[in-house]
Structure 1
Amino acid sequence: MERVIPHDLTIHTARCLLRRPVLEDAPAIFSATRFAGFNDGMQWEPPTTIEELDEPFREQMLAWDEGSVFAFTIADLATNGLLGRVGIRKTNRPNVWNLGFWTHPQQQGKGYMTESVRAIFTFGFEELGATQIEASYALWNKSSRRVLEKVGMKFIAYIPHAFQKQGRWVEANKMSISRREWSISVASGDRQ
């Protein structure tokens, strides 16, 4: 049975508030896409106008209601400023979910994403009933690799043709963590 996740769900970490996206996030998202290289490791191209973010927003809201994707805006708990996005998406395999994330370039390197991904693991394993959570990163994206390693994910596969970007294939590595591995790390105090 599918679990209904309320629209007003919020997840708190020590420094962050994870909440359902709102249209008012668009200017901060658009500003992130203006930084050179920001979209290089993502399957989507940067928008040319803020209005181009409207349709993806509507699609995310529908996907939330369908229970197939849960995207969260990561906001600074103190200022409510946008720090990034993190989402968890159903795969075609039962109880296996895929993680995706990005941090606004002005907020990178401060540990916000590691903190947020740990919270999404709790949501995925406890609320969604995931048995495994996977994520992929472009080989050159060492920051994303570090986040995934810090949260306990392990390498499972090299993907030579993960996706195309400007007509060229992007190589990626896939990482994974099982519910059992996550439970052990939480019980030992390694990941909270």
Structure 2
Amino acid sequence: MVYNRGDRTITTERLRLRLFTKEDAQNVVELCNNYNLYKSTLHLPYPYSIDCALSWIANHEQNFELEQSYEFAITDKESGQLYGAIAITNDKEHKNGEIGYWIGEPYWGKGYGTEAAKAVIEFAFREKHYHRVYGHYFKKNPASGKVMEKCGMKYEGTLKEHIYKIDAFEDVFCYGIINPYK
């Protein structure tokens, strides 16, 4: 993982994580207007419109500058192809943050989520000096849990029937990791 403070990018073996721009909005719509993605995420609306994408992207730069959260487009390092998004909140008082991510369905199973999550977790610990990173996922989305496990996050508990989505209550699994670089 290489973080470039100047252009606020993170580079990995295959990926370049960068801030979203308005020009990404149509690609975001194409990836997010997907029922399979919607049913496994907490805040993603469905159907997903261009207004949703533009509204979501509009706050990213300010959030980054104010150090409230860090939201990155997950892109191919060479071609620039958008694969998904990854973000981490910043709770300065408690020195922790929640990681969240989505990958467009055409790119599932290729390891992009894991590679991006490892990089953002390292960014949080090494660059932003977090003590802890945590995340949650729906029981019916075990692939997200595999990403967390591959990043060294450990199971911390289950919130039983915690979320009501698509006419059913969902269990939410909680994972976390303490800064291993200290």
Same fold (TM > 0.5): yes
Bigger shift: residues 154-163 or 129-138: 154-163
Q: Contact conserved, 1:26 with 1:53, CA < 8 A, in 2?
A: yes
Matched AA of 2:119: A
Q: Give 3-state SS (helix, strand or coil) of 1:38's partner.
A: helix
Q: Work out the CA distance in 2 between the residues paired with 1:151 and 1:27.
A: 30
- State the 1:75 CA deviation: 0.5
Kindly tell me the number of residue pairs found equivalent between the two proteins.
178
Q: 5 Å matches for 1:52-67?
A: 52-67=52-67
**Structure 1 counterpart of 2:69:** 69
**Structure 1 counterpart of 2:30:** 31
**Structure 2 counterpart of 1:111:** 111
- State the 1:65 CA deviation: 2.1
Q: Give 3-state SS (helix, strand or coil) of 1:37's partner.
A: helix
Name the Cα RMSD after superposition. 2.0
- State the 1:40 CA deviation: 1.1
- State the 1:24 CA deviation: 1.3
Q: Contact conserved, 2:95 with 2:129, CA < 8 A, in 1?
A: yes
Structure 1 residue runs of 5 or longer lacking an equivalent are 185-192
Regions of 4+ moved over 6 Å: none
Matched AA of 2:29: F
Bigger shift: residues 95-104 or 60-69: 60-69
Q: Does 1:122 align with 2:122?
A: yes
Q: Deviations over 1:151-179 (max 9, x none)?
A: 11100010124433245432210100100
Structure 2 residue runs of 5 or longer lacking an equivalent are none
**Structure 1 counterpart of 2:16:** 17
Matched AA of 2:95: N
Matched AA of 1:127: E
- State the 1:90 CA deviation: 2.2
Q: 5 Å matches for 1:1-192?
A: 8-44=7-43, 45-91=45-91, 94-166=94-166, 168-180=168-180, 183=181
TM-score (norm 2): 0.89
Q: Work out the CA distance in 1 between the residues paired with 2:86 and 2:122.
A: 13
Matched AA of 2:8: L
Percent identity between the two aligned chains: 23
